[in-house]
A and B are shown apart, each in its own frame.
Chain A
Amino acid sequence: MSMVASHYLALSRRSIVNTIRQPISIVPALTFPLMFLALNSAALAESINLPGFPRVDSFLQFMVATTIMQGALFGSIAAGADMARDIEGGFFDRLIATPVARTAILVGRVAGAFTLSFAQAWIFFGAATIFGLEVEGGLLGMFGVALIAGSLGAGFGSVSMSFALKTGSSEAVQGSFPALFIFLFLSSAFFPRELMTGWFQDVATMNPLSHLIESARHLVIGGWDTGEWLTGLGIAAIIFALGILVSGRALAGRLAESA
């Protein structure tokens, strides 16, 4: 294995082990989406009968893709917060005083964010299955959704890391949380776009998250569709590419002080 690959692997492992060893840090990313899922599935159960609502078994089936992406978004904050804690605690300096491949500093955390979101997707599927969820896309559909979630988590994790690298403050990273909420609410996460009206529908249509969630949702309510899957994954990949770009620039900015 090349030295750079071994750095990627070692720092990815550290990131994942850190998450496993402080499960409390991912509790909000698991419980809030589940709470939303439970509340909405109960409160909006009848809304599936509205004309124009996609054909679904239950609101739970409609909502579960949202829950998974919501978990990925909330979980992505952990990547930034952990990076900020490394900076605040001095571990970042310890890393850069070694011959570590500079890109491994990002890759390690990105891998952690991907793994967390991917694993969370299965937990959400598991929980929803207990309450009667049936995924029309089967196991392949679930895997496809989990991959989209992982990529979205890695993408927003990269954005979150750019805050950390710019500010060096975990509080500043946590402060970006409301922005994610707004991003999610101004999408078709909680209701079909077809039933929206006016400016809200326009904003939701422009919001890439709507299209990503709709693609993932299709795999749950409509069955496996390679085109839909690639659309969702493609949007996540674009967010990931932008995230890597901004976090890469932020890392370069922080490293510019060092030799």
Chain B
Amino acid sequence: MVHKEGEHPVVAESLVRRFGKITAVAGIDLRIGAGEIFGFLGPNGAGKSTTVRMLTTLLVPSEGRAEVAGHDVVTEAAAVRRAIGVALQDAAIDPLMTGRELIKLQATLHGIARSQWKSKSDELLELVGLAAAADRRVGTYSGGMKRRLDLALALVHAPQVLFLDEPTTGLDPNSRQAIWDEVRALNDAGTTVFLTTQYMEEADRLAGRIAIIDDGAIVAEGTPAVLKSQVGDPTLQVTLREGQDVVEAERVLLEFGEPVEVPAGYCAVRLKGGAGGVTGVVRALDEAGLGFDGFELHNPTLDDVFHRATGRRLEGTEPAEPEPEEVEASR
């Protein structure tokens, strides 16, 4: 797939979605370049799925506008649908049909000629490693197999933009790795990927650029490396030998940067000037006669980026995103 320079297959401007009095998405701006894997990272309830539903024409924005593949998501919804592939959360696949039948159905709905879908389905089933299970009913598939089929279904019409809403949630590490490999391969072939995830590692490893969303608003955006570098220096955590003077150790570490709060028995410092300061710390502790059993150097993570932007940690925050139906029912 050849992309024109400066092409932006996904653009959102001041996108808002309200459900009654609840604002699920509070005015987000996005500009995603052709051929990117864009990671949309945030905890449950942050507004990720609502954003995806607006961009994939499943939900009308309350305010703002968005264009996908050059078409307005409201006024040119049909054109958007022809250009996108969508794999929503909880692979919604008819358990009574076989993988091959579902690919055929999806191909028909996208207007792909009967003469083409046969070879296309073989090719896709091969791509996602489901050739052997193609004629089994989906109800007999594992969670990972369903996700892979979901991905294949989203690719039937060679979409310009692929939306993956939490594609690996609930999967075991092997299945997750398989999905990641497939997403990378698709992106290498030129597909623009919009990926939502609540897993930092997924965003970090797959996405070229990330937006972190919290409470319906984007709180940070950039490449993972830049975002992490904005958090600052790495943290050095020292495990003191039993009976050592913790106060004295903390005083020594202060010379190398800001103190960081850690559990008793440890002391830590945010190293000014990066990892190069480790040798200085070791020497200073030695000169002060302070023994230690070990130390760990932590580079900033996307969780630190999230923490810096919101004051909370990304993983373990579990307020559920109000699903449209639930919210509507409570109105």
Contact = CB atoms under 8 A, between A and B. Distances in A.
Interface of A: 3, 6-7, 10-11, 14, 17-18, 21-22, 86, 89-91, 93-100, 168, 256-259
B90 interface: yes
A97 B97 contact: no
Given A18-B94, A22-B96, A91-B94, A97 B111 contact: no
Q: Which of B57, B75, B96 has the most CB of A within 10 A?
A: B96
Given A18-B94, A90-B90, A90-B92, A259 B109 contact: no
A99 B106 contact: no
B77 interface: yes
Contacts, number: 81
Interface of B: 56-60, 73-75, 77-78, 80-82, 84, 86, 88-90, 92-94, 96-97, 101, 104-106, 108-111, 137, 153, 324-325
Q: What 3 pairs between A and B have smallest CB-CB spacing? A: A90-B92, A259-B77, A259-B57
B93 A91 contact: yes
19 contacts: A7-B108, A14-B97, A14-B101, A17-B101, A18-B97, A90-B92, A91-B94, A93-B92, A94-B86, A94-B93, A97-B86, A97-B88, A98-B81, A98-B106, A99-B81, A99-B82, A258-B57, A258-B60, A259-B75
Contacts of A259: 57-60, 73-75, 77, 80
Contacts of A14: 94, 97, 101, 105
A18 B88 CA distance: 22
A91 B138 CA distance: 13
B11 to A, nearest CB: 16
A93 B109 contact: no
B109 A99 contact: yes
Contacts of B57: 97, 258-259
Contacts of A96: 58
B90 A17 contact: no
Nearest to A3: B111
* A interface secondary structure, majority: helix
A97 B83 CA distance: 11
B315 to A, nearest CB: 25
B245 to A, nearest CB: 60
Q: Which of B58, B74, B106 has the most CB of A within 10 A?
A: B58
Nearest to A91: B92
A80 B104 CA distance: 24
Contact of A94 (B88, B96, B108): B88
Given A98-B81, A99-B78, A257-B324, 7 more contacts: A7-B108, A21-B137, A89-B94, A90-B88, A93-B92, A97-B57, A258-B57
Contacts of B110: 98-99
B94 A6 contact: no
Contacts of A168: 325
A256 B324 CA distance: 13
Nearest to A98: B109
A44 B93 CA distance: 49
Given A17-B96, A168-B325, A100 B109 contact: yes
B96 A21 contact: yes
A89 B89 CA distance: 11
Nearest to A100: B109
Q: Which of B56, B82, B96, B108 has the most CB of A within 10 A?
A: B108
A86 B137 CA distance: 17
Contacts of B105: 10-11, 14
B109 A95 contact: yes
Nearest to A85: B94
A10 B108 contact: yes
Contact of A93 (B58, B84, B111): B58
A74 B84 CA distance: 40
B4 to A, nearest CB: 24
Contact of B109 (A10, A21, A22, A86): A10
A252 to B, nearest CB: 14
A256 B77 CA distance: 12
Contacts of A3: 111
Nearest to A13: B105
Contacts of B60: 256-259
Given A96-B58, A99-B82, A258 B77 contact: yes
Contacts of A6: 108, 111
B80 to A, nearest CB: 8
